[in-house]
Structures are given as structure tokens and as C-alpha cells.
Amino acid sequence: MVHLRQGSAVALLLAGWHIATSSAAGIPLNRREDVSIGDFSYIKKFAAIGDSYSSGVGAGSVLKGKDDEKCSRYDESYPSRLNEDARMGGADGHEFTYLGCLGDKTPEILDQAKKLGDDMDLITISGSGNDLGFSNIVQGCIYQWAVYSNCDKAIKKAEDVLASDELESRVNDILKEAKSHLSSKGSIYWTGYGTFFNSHTSACDKIKWNLLPEFNPQFLTQDFRHKVNKLVLDLNSKLKQLVTDGGATFVDYEQYSQDWFGRFCDDGVDETQVYDQKDENRGRWNDMWFQMTWSEGDLKKRGIEMKRKRSPKSDDTMDDYQPMKGDFELVERMGIPDSISKVFHPTPMTHEFISNVIFTLMTEKQAKDHGIDASLETPSIDDTENCSSKDIN
């Protein structure tokens, strides 16, 4: 048997599942004749609730169902990928309830959970990032084009919310409500969040991405990047404890993604451009997050439209434009397009990764329920033409 590091094992499993998906077959992990590990066609009712990470803002094309456009639900989100996956019988093999919605905080997600039907075999949840104000940190601290906020205060506010009993209570309420809608064999998977930056390098210390140069910019210093990453990791840690204690499974894809995806401010990446120009010379690889794609001119036009909504008699210039002070969610209600809202959200590739991590955890549980060892730490593999066991660390 070949012993693999956890990251290497996950890489092999995810690569294998990609093949399995395309061939409409599951993965036979030490399969017994009466057990089909990796086959989830027994799932007949699947629901996805949560925030923009669940709705998949910007990932692919907007779906055409009721409220899909309003909630920014996309066809390459991880719930959409789960829904269409052959391992769950494809989209025609089960009933799919999709309620994830851009901007929703835990009270709204609780309302989503209350709308679920009975006998759900699988429920995925994403939530609590909006309670901490992640969008305020991204749009108000980093880009500073629509709202303006003090970054230290925004981070401190997020830390206070994270430490509050209220957030813990709200997460528990969502779990309790969701569990009441499960079938006898149903499961809940709560997905976490991923870090945005490489905080181990000083390469971005003099980089700023503010879109209105007359305002005090926030440089992407190593200290700032570390604070934002720590906030994400601390939230994941708290969610993992609450979700596990609540009898559900926490999906910590962050721990598996470090060797797979590029983050902002990675070594060798040119971050001097605030806009993602798709320049291959920038050195970015496997983008984990969407970056700003709007040009300065387009943003000015949008700024004028927003200024008119705030003051109908204002002129058609940006001469007196001032970013709003407050939460970015207030600006989103004024008609911010998904092409802006999607920044610092998972790309389609990241959503595919998340869906496969969920399948990994589902397979582990399925195997364990049948007394089969499917540990990620100690899989066995056979040598092939392109892969030799001696080459694996």
C-alpha cells in the first residue's frame, strides 16, 4: 500500500471523481459486491440554501427559475454541479430546491430553511460571511468605489460579530430547522469559506486597488492580508465546531485548496492592475476568486447612475461624486450588477472543486456506514504509465 499525504490523496480522489462524473460511474473504493460506494442515486430530494457562495454569483450563466436572477443563482455554482452530477442520478434523478441568495445573512437563511419540504436526503448550506460584512471589507476597504469604510473598523466589527453569542445562536437555529426537514437517512453539509490572499509574501505591500484615487487607499500590506485571512480561518473554525456539534458535516475546502489554486498576491504575480485584464504575463494560475473586470469608464457610468438615484437632480459628471458610507448591501439594492458583486467570490473552477470535496466527504460517510475504509490518508493505488507510486510523496 502506498501512503499519501492528505493533500496528495485528495488530488488523486478529485481527479478520479472528475473522470467518474464524465463516465456516469462511481468510484469503487474497496467495493463489496452488495455495496456501491460513490453512488448517490438514492438521493431523491436535494436542497441548497445560503448566501452568495451558495447562489454562485458570476459562475456561468444565471438560471431561469423563479427568483434566480434576483438571487443571482448560477448554473456553475457548486449546488448546480451537485444537482447535475451523474453520481446523484443527474438533474432528472431527484427533486432540487434551490434557495441560496446573494446578500442573505443568517436570519434570511433561517427563513430559507423554513421553506424546505420534508424528507430531504441532502441539504447544503453556506452562510454567516455576510453577517461579518465580508462585502464591506472587499468593496469598502479594497476597491472603495461605491462605499467607503475604515478598514480597521470594518475588520474589528467583523471580529466582534464572530465572537458574539448571537452568531452562534443563529447558526444553531439554522441547523436545527434544516435537520427538521431531513429524511431518516438525510445529511447536511455546511460549506466554509476560503482565504483570499497569500499573506506570506511582501510583494503586495505597496499595491492598492482603490478605484477612486482621491480617497485614502488601503494598501494590500502583509499585515492587512493576514488580518483578512485570519478572519476567514477563524470563521471556519467556529463554523466547524458549531456544525459538528449540531450533527452535520462541515466542508473545509480551504485546507485542501492551497496547492490547487492561486490567491491574490501570490509570488510572481503582477498585481499592479486593479482590473483583471486576462494577461497571461501576469503569472496568475487557477484563479480561486473573481477579480474586478469593469473598466474605470464603466465604473464612472455606474457611479453617475447611483448618484442620480441618491439625488435625481445631480449632473452627469463625477466631479462631486462621494462613495456612500455604510454597508455595501445598501449599495447592492441600488442595482449593482453581478459582474461587480462577484469579485472575491469563487470562480467556476472553485465551485467544481467544492462540489468534489462534498462528494469526498459523502463517500467517506457512505463507506464508514458500510464498514469500509475510505480514509483519505491511506489509499492504495496501482502504477500506471503516467504515474508511479515511487513518485508520490
Residue 67 CA to chain centroid, in angstroms?
Answer: 20
Output phi, psi for 282, to 5 deg. Answer: -70, -25
Of these ranges, 85-89, 272-276, 378-382, the one predicted with the greatest mean pLDDT is 85-89
- Residue 71 has a pLDDT of 94
| Residue among 169, 166, 190 at smallest CA distance from 178 | 190
Nearest Cα residue to 344 out of 284, 264, 277: 264
Is 16 inside any structural domain? no
Task: State the average pLDDT over residues 250-258.
Answer: 85
Tens digit of pLDDT for each residue in 334-348?
456 666 777 788 888
CA trace torsion 265, 269, 273, 279 (10° rounding)? -140
| pLDDT tens per residue across span 59-85 | 999 999 889 999 999 999 999 999 999
Residue 11: which residues within 8 A CB-CB, separation 6 or more? Answer: 259, 260
| pLDDT confidence bin for 387, thresholds 50/70/90 | low
Query: Is 386 inside a domain boundary?
Result: no
Q: Which of 56-65, 271-280, 319-328 is most confident?
A: 56-65
Q: Which three cell numbers stand for residue 330?
A: 445598501
Note whether residue 248 is domain-resident: yes
Q: What pLDDT sits at residue 340?
A: 72
Residue 207 confidence (pLDDT) above 90: no
**Rounded to whole angstroms, how far apart are CA atoms 40 and 121?**
10
Which residue in 85, 116, 83, 84 sits closest to 99, CA to CA? 116
The DSSP letter of residue 295 is -
| Residue 2 resides in a domain | no
Backbone angles phi, psi at 251, to 5 degrees: -100, 95
Residue 16's pLDDT band, with cuts at 50, 70 and 90, is very low
Residues of the domain holding 345? 38-369
What percent of the chain has a predicted confidence (pLDDT) above 70?
A: 64
Lowest model confidence (mean pLDDT) among 112-121, 168-177, 286-295, 354-363 = 286-295
Of 264, 230, 227, nearest to 152 by C-alpha is: 227
Please tell me whether residue 211 adopts helix, strand or coil conformation: coil
Give the number of other CB atoms < 10 A from CB of residue 280. Answer: 7
What's the whole-number mean pLDDT along residues 25-34?
45
> Which CATH number is 209's domain given?
3.40.50.1110
Q: What is the pLDDT of residues 103-141, one digit of tens each?
A: 899 999 999 999 999 999 999 999 999 999 888 787 777
Residue 260 in this model has a pLDDT that exceeds 70: no
350, part of any domain: yes
Residue 393 within any structural domain of the chain = no
pLDDT at 208: 80
The pLDDT, as a whole number, for residue 288 is 64
Q: Is the pLDDT of residue 209 over 80?
A: no
Domain total for the chain? 1
> Locate cell 478598514: which residue?
151
The whole-number pLDDT of residue 331 equals 47
Asked whether residue 28 is domain-assigned, the answer is no
Q: How far apart are CA 200 and CA 98, in angstroms?
A: 38
Half-sphere exposure of 248 (CA within 13 A, CB side): 33
Please name the residues in contact with 134: beta carbons below 8 A apart, sequence gap of 6 or more.
158, 193, 344
H helices present in 246-369, as ranges? 254-257, 296-310, 328-332, 338-341, 348-369
Please report which confidence band the pLDDT of residue 325 belongs to, taking 50, 70 and 90 as the band edges: low
199 pLDDT band, cuts 50/70/90, is confident
Instruction: With beta carbons less than 8 A apart as the criterion, state whether 355 and 56 touch.
Output: no
SS3 of residue 112 by DSSP: helix
The pLDDT value recorded for residue 27 is: 41
- How does pLDDT run across 132-166, given as a tens digit for each residue? 988 878 777 777 765 556 788 889 999 999 999 99
The answer to whether residue 53 sits within a structural domain is yes
Q: Would you state the pLDDT for residue 175?
A: 99
Is pLDDT above 70 for 12? no
pLDDT at 349: 87
- Residue indicated by cell numbers 462540489: 355
C-alpha cell at 80: 448546480
Rounded to the nearest integer, the mean pLDDT of the chain is 77
pLDDT, average across residues 213-236: 87
Q: Taking 70 as the threshold, does the pLDDT of residue 303 lie above it? A: no
Burial of residue 370, with CB atoms counted within 10 A of its CB: 0-12 exposed, 13-18 middle, 19 or more buried = middle
Q: What is the mean pLDDT of residues 272-290?
A: 53
CA distances from 246 to 45, 169, 172, 174 (A): 21, 12, 7, 10
Residues 6 or more apart whose Cβ sits within 8 Å of residue 137:
151, 154, 155, 158, 228, 231
